[in-house]
C-alpha cells in the first residue's frame, strides 16, 4: 500500500526537503499551499510532475492554517497516513512586529490542524514542528526535559502548539509528536535568516555588487545543523513504535560572529571590512544561547547530526556563489531586500 503524507508548509525550506525524502521513499505526497498573487513554489518546482500523469505522486492543495473548515475538508479528501505541520510564521524578529498573526498561524494553526485530524476521524500520525526557541532564556544544554522560557511571540506561540500536541496525544490517544528542532539551515533557507543573509552577502560582496551587510547581535550562540538531515529525523519520529517528543541538534555551539568569520574566510574576504551594525536587527528580548542535547534522538531513533556549523557555512557560501554565477545577468535584476525587511 502506498503511504500518503500531507505536508503543511511544503513551500518552505523544510517542507521542500521533506517532500523530496518522502517521494524517494515511495509516498504519495500532498502539500498545503497558500494562494499568493505570485508563484510561491520555487523550492518544490523541481519536483513537479503534471498531475494528469499516472506517475504523478505530488499534489498541491490551496489552504491556510487560519481556515479550519478547509483543513477538515482536506483531511477527508486526502485521508493521509502522516500529517506534518511545518507551516508557521517562522521569523522570530517579525513575530514582534506581527504578534497576533504569529499567534494565529504558528500557535492556533496547530490546534486547527489537530482538530481537523480529530474531527475528520482520519487515522493518521501527526508531526508538530516545535522549536528550540521555546527554551528561550533557559540556559543550555537543552533537552526534552528542559523547562521552556520563550522570549518572543513566536516562541510563546510554539509553546502553545507544543502543549496542544501533547494534550491531543493524551486526551484522544492520537499518535502526535513534537520535534523540538534547533536551528537548521541550507541553501534553501529564507534570505532573511541570519545564516543565509550572511552567505548571500558574502557571494554578492565577492562578486563586487555589494560592499556591506548590516547586522544585529553577533554574540548570540546557536546550534546550526543541516536541514536535509533534520527532515529525516522528523520522518523517523513518525515511524517510532510510540509517540514521543525529541530534540534534534548538533550539540555544537557557534556564535553569529563565528558564522560570519567562517563564511567570509571561505570566500577569501575579511568580514570586519564589510559588516556594519544596525540596531533594527536587534530584538526586544534576545535568546542568548541554544545548544542541543540530542542524546534521546540518538538512542531511540538512531538519529545524529553529521554536518557541523563550519561545514554548513561553507556549503551555503558555495551555493550562493554558484547561484549568483548561474544567473544570466546576475546582480542587475537582483533587488537587495535586506534594506527594507528584517
Ligand atoms: P519556512 O521556510 O519559513 O516555511 C514556513 C512554511 O509555512 C512555508 O511553506 C509557508 O508558506 C507556510 N505558511 C506560513 N504561514 C502559513 C499559513 N497561515 N497557512 C499555511 N501555510 C503557512 O520555515 P522552515 O525553516 O521550513 O521551518 C519549518 C517549520 O519548522 C516552521 O514551523 C518553523 O517555525 C519550524 N522550525 C524551524 C527551524 C529552523 O531552524 N528552520 C527550527 C525549529 C522549528 P509560504 O511559502 O506561502 O510563505
Ligand atoms: O537566523 P535567525 O533569525 O534565527 P532564530 O531567531 O534563531 O530563529 C530560527 O531558529 C529557531 C530555532 O531556534 C526557529 F524556531 C525559527 O523559526 C528560526 O528558524 O537569528 C539567529 C540569531 C539571533 O540571535 C539574531 O538576533 O542571529 C541574530 N542576528 C544578528 N543579526 C540576526 C541578525 N538575525 C537576523 N535574522 N538578521 C540579522 O541581521
E-strand spans in 267-330?
Answer: 275-277
What does the mean pLDDT of the chain come to?
95
Q: Which residue's CA lies nearest to atom 32 of ligand 2?
A: 194
* CATH class, range 4-340: alpha beta
Residues touching ligand 1 (Cβ under 6 Å) are 8-9, 11-15, 32, 34, 40, 64-66, 86-90, 105, 109, 129, 131, 181, 183-184, 190
**Cell 539551515, located at residue:** 185
> Domain boundaries in the chain?
4-340
Mutate to test the pocket of ligand 2, among 98, 222, 234 (most ligand atoms within 8 A of CB): 222
Q: What is the DSSP letter of 278?
A: -
Contact 28, 5 (CB under 8 A): yes
263 C-beta closer than 6 A to ligand 2 = no
- Taken in order 156, 337, 256, 326, the sign of the CA dihedral is positive
Q: Which three cell numbers stand for residue 334?
A: 537582483
Active-site residue identified among 20, 82, 133, 185? 133
Indicate if ligand 2 lies below 6 Å from the C-beta of 198: no
Question: With contact defined as beta carbons under 8 Å apart, do 114 and 165 qualify?
Answer: yes
Ligand 1 pocket mutation, candidates 83, 87, 91, 113, criterion most atoms within 8 A of CB: 87
Contact residues for 167 (Cβ-Cβ < 8 A; gap 6+): none
* Other beta carbons within 10 Å of 284: 9
Q: What pLDDT sits at residue 337?
A: 44
Q: What is the pLDDT of residue 260?
A: 98
Q: What is the pLDDT of residue 338?
A: 47
- Catalytic pick among 17, 126, 154, 168: 154
CA 146 from centre of chain: 21
Give the distance (Å) from ligand 2 centre to CA of residue 218: 11
Element housing 237 (H / E)? helix 227-239
| Residues 107, 157 contacting (CB under 8 angstroms) | yes
Q: In which element (H, E) is residue 60 found?
A: strand 58-62
31, 15 in Cβ contact below 8 A?
Answer: yes
The Cα–Cα gap between 146 and 182 comes to 14
96 pocket-lining for ligand 2 (C-beta < 6 Å): no
CA of residue 86 to ligand 1 center, whole Å: 5
- Residue spans of the chain under pLDDT 50: 328-342
User: What span, in angstroms and rounded, lies between the C-alpha atoms of 192 and 172?
Assistant: 39
Q: Does the C-beta of 274 come closer than 6 Å to ligand 2?
A: no
User: Would you state the pLDDT for residue 326?
Assistant: 84
H/E stretch holding 26: none
Q: Are 102 and 34 in contact (CB under 8 A)?
A: no
154 is catalytic: yes
What is the reported pLDDT for 332?
39
Amino acid at each position: 500500500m502506498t503511504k500518503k503524507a500531507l505536508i503543511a508548509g511544503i513551500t518552505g525550506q523544510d517542507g521542500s526537503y521533506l517532500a523530496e525524502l518522502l517521494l524517494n521513499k515511495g509516498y504519495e505526497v500532498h502539500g498545503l499551499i497558500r494562494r499568493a498573487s505570485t508563484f510561491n513554489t520555487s523550492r518544490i518546482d523541481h519536483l513537479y510532475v503534471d498531475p494528469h500523469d499516472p506517475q504523478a505522486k505530488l499534489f498541491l492543495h490551496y489552504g491556510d492554517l487560519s481556515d479550519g473548515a478547509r483543513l477538515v475538508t482536506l483531511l477527508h479528501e486526502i485521508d493521509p497516513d502522516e500529517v506534518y505541520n511545518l507551516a508557521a510564521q517562522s521569523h522570530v524578529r517579525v513575530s514582534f512586529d506581527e504578534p497576533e498573526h504569529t499567534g494565529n498561524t504558528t500557535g492556533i494553526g496547530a490546534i486547527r490542524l489537530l482538530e481537523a485530524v480529530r474531527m475528520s476521524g482520519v487515522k493518521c500520525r501527526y508531526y508538530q514542528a516545535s522549536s528550540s526557541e521555546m527554551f528561550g532564556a533557559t540556559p543550555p544544554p537543552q533537552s526534552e526535559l528542559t523547562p521552556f522560557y520563550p522570549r518572543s511571540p513566536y516562541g510563546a506561540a510554539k509553546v502553545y502548539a507544543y502543549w496542544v500536541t501533547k494534550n491531543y496525544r493524551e486526551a484522544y490517544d492520537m499518535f502526535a509528536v513534537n520535534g523540538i528542532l534547533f536551528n537548521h539551515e541550507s541553501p534553501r533557507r529564507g534570505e532573511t535568516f541570519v545564516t543565509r543573509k550572511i552567505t548571500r552577502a558574502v557571494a554578492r560582496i565577492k562578486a563586487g555588487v555589494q560592499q556591506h551587510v548590516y547586522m544585529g547581535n553577533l554574540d548570540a550562540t546557536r546550534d546550526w545543523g543541516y536541514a536535509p538531515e533534520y527532515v529525516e529525523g522528523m520522518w523517523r519520529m513518525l515511524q517510532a513504535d510510540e509517540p514521543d517528543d525529541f530534540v534534534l541538534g548538533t550539540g555544537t555551539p557557534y556564535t553569529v560572529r563565528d558564522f560570519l568569520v567562517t563564511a567570509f574566510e571561505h570566500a577569501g574576504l575579511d568580514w570586519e571590512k564589510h559588516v556594519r551594525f544596525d540596531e533594527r536587527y536587534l530584538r526586544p528580548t534576545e535568546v542568548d544561547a541554544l545548544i542541543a542535547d540530542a542524546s534521546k534522538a540518538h538512542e531511540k531513533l538512531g538519529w545524529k547530526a553529521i554536518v557541523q556549523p563550519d561545514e554548513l557555512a561553507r556549503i551555503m557560501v558555495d551555493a550562493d556563489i554558484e547561484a549568483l554565477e548561474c544567473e544570466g545577468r546576475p546582480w542587475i535584476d537582483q533587488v537587495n531586500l535586506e534594506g527594507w525587511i528584517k
